[in-house]
Amino acid sequence: DSVWECVQLEGLIQPIEQTSEFSVTLFGGTVVLSWKLSGSSLQLRVQSKKRSRWLSLSIGTEMEGGHAYVAWIDPRGEGRLSAYNMDNREASGIKQAVEDLQDVEVLYADGLISFTFERGLSGSPSVPSIDPSAEVPFTWALGESWRDCSTLDSPQPDPQSGSQSCQLTDNDIHSDRSARAVYVDLQSGFSRTDGLDLLLVAHGWLLFLAWGVLVPAAIAAARFLKVYTSPAGLWLKIHQLSISAAALGSILGIALAIAEKGESRQHFGSSHSQMGLAVLALLAFNGMRGFLRPKPQQIAENTTKLGRLHTSKRSWWECEHRVVAGVGVVLAFITMLLGIQEFERRGLGADWKYKVALVAWFGAIGCLVLAREISNQYINKSSRIRHSNRLNQEGTGRIETTRTMRSNEEL
């Protein structure tokens, strides 16, 4: 049946001459695929942006059932390229396919692998046909160890050649791969990726709402709303409610990330997830310290700021509370940038736009805070000047009154 299907497909494929070369970055932003149609053949070039010892391009939506072209560097430092069919996800399920590949070139420079080859559009029982008028799904993988398994079914040395054949093991599996397939229209160059998992989308928005909106609101309330005495404790209520909501959103967001299927067991192995846990720990620590804050102490009015810091436990606590909050916000910002990169691995296109938007958001918040600080400094300075002038005027008035009284007494 499979042979009949290949014959039928071959009859449908028409020779196409493509004058220009198309290129697309595959899912995750690590591998770039370029191609050119020439008659009844397809020229492919695959380039990796990440260092590895082998690199593969697979035709198929998943690893299982895919047809892969694997380029690797053998122990002698020479580049090799072979085609494989993947019956299942285990290393033992990878079988080498017999395929006629032309103009093969494997390059290895600065730890980066790239390879080019040309294959026919028609296939065979072990090689899938490619219809250039339909979307073709591509995935990629790379790793550090690969061996030539040209005779997978006979792991013993060949009596005639004496060469050692081998079976692939779990040591030869990938160290990185695309989590989703990119569907490519070979004729137009258009590509698309399946949408993100809704759990990841909710995770990202919850954490942005927590650390991009609620935590800055809590800090702003503590910094700028203390001057408003009615209703009593307004700033503290806003501060506590915002922090509590941010903590709840953070915990729920992390739970959604853990529940996300696919690579959930590796969630705490990335820099993004580790920094996220550190940020949550800082939030929990600062919240706990907030509830255990020392009571304000009575200090003489003429005591300097340094003197207040040395004599008041409350002053020490306020300094610590602010520093931890500031460090938490900075780490949260970095964690969100790393999170955008993780989203890119799952199909979020043009991640630089999201990074620019995030930087602009926090930049706008910083500008507003700076403007308010400058305004407060100006208001405080003006108030001190008016107060000083009033005291000077009152002092001058008392001096004039005293002089008048003395003159009257003399009279």
Residue 410: its H or E element: helix 351-410
Q: Does the pTM of the predicted model rise above 0.85?
A: no
The confidence score (pLDDT) of residue 395 equals 58
What does the alpha-carbon distance between residue 103 and residue 119 come to, in Å, rounded to a whole number? 9
User: 108: closest CA among 153, 169, 51?
Assistant: 51
- CA–CA dist 358, 360 (Å, integer): 5
Give the CA distances from residue 254 to residues 143, 275, 284, 341, in Å, rounded to whole numbers and listed in that order: 29, 12, 14, 17
Q: What is the dihedral of CA 276, 278, 279, 281, to 10 degrees?
A: 120
pLDDT reported for residue 410: 47
For 302, residues 6+ apart whose C-beta sits below 8 A from its C-beta are: none
Sequence length of the chain is: 411
Q: What pLDDT, on the 0 to 100 scale, is given for residue 342?
A: 75
Give the DSSP H or E segment for 33. Answer: strand 31-39
For 266, which DSSP code?
A: G
Distance CA 34, CA 189 (A): 10
d(CA 81, CA 103): 11
Query: Residue 194 gets which letter from DSSP?
Result: P
Q: Which residue has tokens 């054949």?
A: 165
Residue 372 CA neighbour count, 13 Å, CB half: 12
pLDDT of res. 311: 57
User: What does the pLDDT read at residue 238?
Assistant: 93
Counting as low any pLDDT under 70, the low residues of the chain are 1-20, 89-92, 148-173, 194-197, 260-267, 297-311, 344-351, 383, 387-389, 391-411
At 9 the pLDDT is: 37
